[in-house]
Structure 1
Amino acid sequence: MRHNRLTAACLAAGLALTGCSAAATGSAKDGTTLTYLTFETPSLTAKFWDTSIANAKKKVPDVAVKKIVAPSTDRDAYAKQLQASGQFPDLLQSITPSTFATAGLLKPYDQKWVNANFMLPMGNAYKGKVYIPPTNSQIIPEVFYNKKLFAKAHIAAPPRTWSDFMAVCAKLKAAGITPVELGGGDPFAASMPLVGILSADVLGKDPDWLKKRYAGKVKFSDTNVKAAVAKYRTMVEKGYFEDGALGVKYADSITNFTSGKSAMYMMGSWFLGSVPKDHADDFGAFLTPTEDGSLVVPFAVGGSMAISAKTADRAKATAFAEAWSLDPANYKALIEGDGAFPMLKGKTLADYGVDVTQVFKDSYSYVTQQNTKVSAIGWAANDDAMPSGLNNAFYSASQALFSSDDINGQLAKLDAAWDAATK
């Protein structure tokens, strides 16, 4: 979700798909070629995508696939640029459906196929239709903790209530241990404490809050939202984050936490893919504490690929997308390397042949149990998705609130940005 400028080479090439961003895989006897927008991370490498494409093509052998690698993690923005230049891909991996469906750019999946294959068929549905298969999910964020540092500060168990959480932070600080890691140098990472607190306190009490915000019935400047944000400001003012947290990059925040420089880390469950295997038992996880200790799971159902409504061959594009989305080998890589929680119907972790840590299993139990799940604010791909551009505004406010106590001003800016985006 971080934003980087396109490389000069891609700009000079006019975003041409035959340039630095694309690679062709396979051949098609009948001339059918599908363009497929992907992305690369340390876990989801070029090899992963090439292998996954080759495996899906076994189900659709008479098609070629041209892979386009987004030059930044903002796939939505890149897809918009491709669309503006007349090069909107046939298939798009892990985009935000609402951004494109309203413009008539996406083809929905057959609901019978979705119902037959996924645990939460409507988990990321937008306006009653499924534009990306609900293949996986995340908890955004969890609070990961270092058991050894808790023991050093004589903390017997993770906190359940907010007052207990504040007491734990105070004990850690008194013991000379940084209570909470924050990769504040990257906007999305800086927002994680606020995502957790707002999801727990605001959406936990009113799961329809985001829908009501669209209807103009609630605002960010409301008293309950201000009270939740004030909790974050208290954490900052009491020095519960490391010194210079706004200058810490996301990648460095992972290293800081896993190397024992801080006791807790509020981050999306994708962090589970970074838990060190050689001392994985040193780490545990809990949910952002609430006032009364009730559990609220800030949940986001993700998915695989969207299908362009403009693709020249809908049948083959759909066949490829369905084959990719049901391939167990893709899930294995996503589970082990990216901490994704699989959502295929009728399967357990053992069915994927994965090697995961105990903290992964404990975290996944929140997904499979009956509990209070709400959309993780700013991360939903369904009707709770914020308007285009609001995620960036939210990240900006999160960074600003680290240095400023102007809660009213920052929340007023968010309301103004929301209103402008939904006119």
Structure 2
Amino acid sequence: MRRNRLITACFASGLALVAACSAPNATGSKNGGTSLTYMTFESPSLTSTFWDASIKHAESQAPGVTIRKLVAPGGDRDAYAKQLQASGQFPDLLQSITPSTFAPAGLLRPYDQAWVNANFLMPQGNALKGKVYIPPTNSQIIPEVFYNKKLFAKAGIAAPPKTWSEFMNDCARLKAAGITPIELGGGDPFAASMPLVGIISADVLGKNPKWLQERYAGKVKFTDDDVVAAATKYRTMVKKGYFEDGALGVKYADSITNFTSGKTAMYMMGSWFLGSVPKDHANDFGAFLVPTDNGSQVVPFAVGGSMAISNKAPDVAKATKFAQAWSLDPGNLKALIEGDGAFPMLKDKKLADYNVNVTRVYKDSYAYVTDQNTKVSSFGWATNDDAMPSGLNDAFYAASQALYSSDDVRGPLAKLDAAWDSATK
């Protein structure tokens, strides 16, 4: 699922307001069972109605459990969980958090590996140091390059590009035809970083999938030539005018509208955008991977999941029972597939088994998941051992915005190295 890290005013008021935004942990319920707090989030596709229905269904499969729902303001689960932890209210169950932020402190209980192995296509897809803290229920490609077929045809482009050179040539042809080549919701930091996420994932991790592990070991740096070359590609796109004017002021929500309404030809975004493809003209849209220099395909992949279990839950066994029931519910995956563009990762199930209505571009994108190809951790979006240190995502977003505005490519990358070294001392 999309990890929206935007922080709302509820956080800014400090811990006093956290208590007002949440409910305290409780160990008993009125029927004599166990009451557990469950931190979720809401989005246009995953509404309060969805969470209430999914909780009710999982409760029916976990007798004696009553769930008290907490909603992360603004959708930022990690930040909200940290606030609750600081105030002594760490939730018993936490939806779609980053395990590396909490597991080292002993706050999370790993799932039984035999259960994980039995139920998921990639049992170790989001494992952290060999342990699974979030069931690998779904996945995303972050990013894909979505494109408007009609605008491509208007510019005389018959097929999506396979190499970086072809991609740049297509951008030039679109611009020459009076069409803005690429949409960028640069007003929201995570969206501003999408081109850089795609290029680094393809060019750096595509050649060295262990790059992030080597960065932890101090063997590589952001200021190395390969990363600088990748960042320079992004900077070149900006200098050639391939993004819309004022892109750093465009909000994420507006960027979706701009692209789907035909104002721009391409959109580099996580596969959750598939949930926003207009159903009335869905066949106007296609998708391809960020091209590499030699045309090899690299899938920037992120395995997502459902909920983590707190080691401090009043009844860990019952919390686990609820979490397992929720994670294996096909109805929950149906909502994620249709509304959030998620790719299901349950064993022994085909897409048709979820009774979903999806577009052609969704099916084409899903083929990248099911096909044998080169998959690497999407840079900055992994929740496994390739997850960046706590706080580095925000530093990466800041670097992306800085690269948009300055020819000093090495400067923002050097700041990333310094932030990484500080975070891992």
Task: Give the alignment's TM-score, normalised by structure 1.
Answer: 0.97
Partner of 2:308: 306
Q: Secondary structure at the match of 1:265?
A: strand
> Aligned AA for 1:367?
V
1: CA distance, partners of 2:332 / 2:120: 15
Aligned match for 1:284, one of 286, 307, 331: 286
Partner of 1:170: 172
Partner of 1:155: 157
CA displacement, residues 170-210 of structure 1 (integer Å, 9 cap, x when unaligned): 00000000000000000000000000000000000000000
1: CA distance, partners of 2:368 / 2:207: 18
**8 A contact 1:94–1:305 mirrored in 2:** yes
Q: Secondary structure at the match of 2:301?
A: strand
1: CA distance, partners of 2:12 / 2:53: 26
Deviation (angstroms), 1:61:
2.7
Partner of 2:8: 5
Q: Does 1:219 pair with 2:247?
A: no
Q: Secondary structure at the match of 2:74?
A: coil
Partner of 1:321: 323
| Equivalent residues in 2 for 1:54-65, closer than 5 Å | 54-65=56-67
Would the alpha carbon gap of residues 27 and 374 (structure 1) be closer, same or farther in structure 2, given more than 3 Å must change?
Answer: same
> Aligned AA for 2:36?
L
CA displacement, residues 276-309 of structure 1 (integer Å, 9 cap, x when unaligned): 0000000000000000000000000000000001
Partner of 2:398: 396
2: CA distance, partners of 1:277 / 1:21: 37
Aligned match for 1:384, one of 374, 383, 386: 386
CA displacement, residues 398-417 of structure 1 (integer Å, 9 cap, x when unaligned): 01110111111110000000
> Aligned AA for 1:229?
A
Deviation (angstroms), 1:32:
1.1
Deviation (angstroms), 1:167:
0.3
Deviation (angstroms), 1:29:
2.3
2: CA distance, partners of 1:137 / 1:48: 19
CA displacement, residues 154-179 of structure 1 (integer Å, 9 cap, x when unaligned): 00000010000000000000000000
Q: Secondary structure at the match of 1:299?
A: strand
**8 A contact 1:21–1:71 mirrored in 2:** no
2: CA distance, partners of 1:246 / 1:14: 31
CA displacement, residues 16-38 of structure 1 (integer Å, 9 cap, x when unaligned): 2xx44459999552241100000
Would the alpha carbon gap of residues 104 and 8 (structure 1) be closer, same or farther in structure 2, given more than 3 Å must change?
Answer: closer
Q: Secondary structure at the match of 1:179?
A: strand
Partner of 2:340: 338
Deviation (angstroms), 1:390:
0.2
**8 A contact 2:11–2:18 mirrored in 1:** no
1: CA distance, partners of 2:347 / 2:30: 32
2: CA distance, partners of 1:130 / 1:111: 7
CA displacement, residues 56-89 of structure 1 (integer Å, 9 cap, x when unaligned): 0010131111100001222111101101111000
Deviation (angstroms), 1:13:
5.0
> Aligned AA for 2:35?
T
Across the aligned residues of Structure 1 and Structure 2, the Cα RMSD in angstroms comes to 1.6
Deviation (angstroms), 1:7:
2.3
> Aligned AA for 2:305?
G
2: CA distance, partners of 1:87 / 1:306: 15
Q: Secondary structure at the match of 1:68?
A: strand
**8 A contact 1:15–1:82 mirrored in 2:** yes
**8 A contact 2:15–2:83 mirrored in 1:** no
| Equivalent residues in 2 for 1:63-78, closer than 5 Å | 63-78=65-80
Q: Secondary structure at the match of 2:39?
A: strand
**8 A contact 2:10–2:21 mirrored in 1:** no
Q: Secondary structure at the match of 2:67?
A: strand
> Aligned AA for 2:10?
T
**8 A contact 1:2–1:187 mirrored in 2:** no
Q: Secondary structure at the match of 1:67?
A: strand
> Aligned AA for 1:148?
K
What percent of counterpart residues are identical? 77
> Aligned AA for 1:198?
I
> Aligned AA for 2:359?
T
Would the alpha carbon gap of residues 125 and 8 (structure 1) be closer, same or farther in structure 2, given more than 3 Å must change?
Answer: closer
Would the alpha carbon gap of residues 225 and 11 (structure 1) be closer, same or farther in structure 2, given more than 3 Å must change?
Answer: closer
CA displacement, residues 35-59 of structure 1 (integer Å, 9 cap, x when unaligned): 0000000000000000000000010
Deviation (angstroms), 1:421:
0.2
Deviation (angstroms), 1:393:
0.1
Task: Give the alignment's TM-score, normalised by structure 2.
Answer: 0.97
Q: Secondary structure at the match of 1:350?
A: helix
Q: Does 1:85 pair with 2:106?
A: no
| Equivalent residues in 2 for 1:182-193, closer than 5 Å | 182-193=184-195
Show structure 2 runs of 5+ residues with no match. Answer: none
> Aligned AA for 1:394?
F
Would the alpha carbon gap of residues 22 and 144 (structure 1) be closer, same or farther in structure 2, given more than 3 Å must change?
Answer: farther
2: CA distance, partners of 1:53 / 1:382: 26
1: CA distance, partners of 2:246 / 2:207: 33
**8 A contact 2:147–2:267 mirrored in 1:** yes
Partner of 1:350: 352
2: CA distance, partners of 1:84 / 1:24: 14
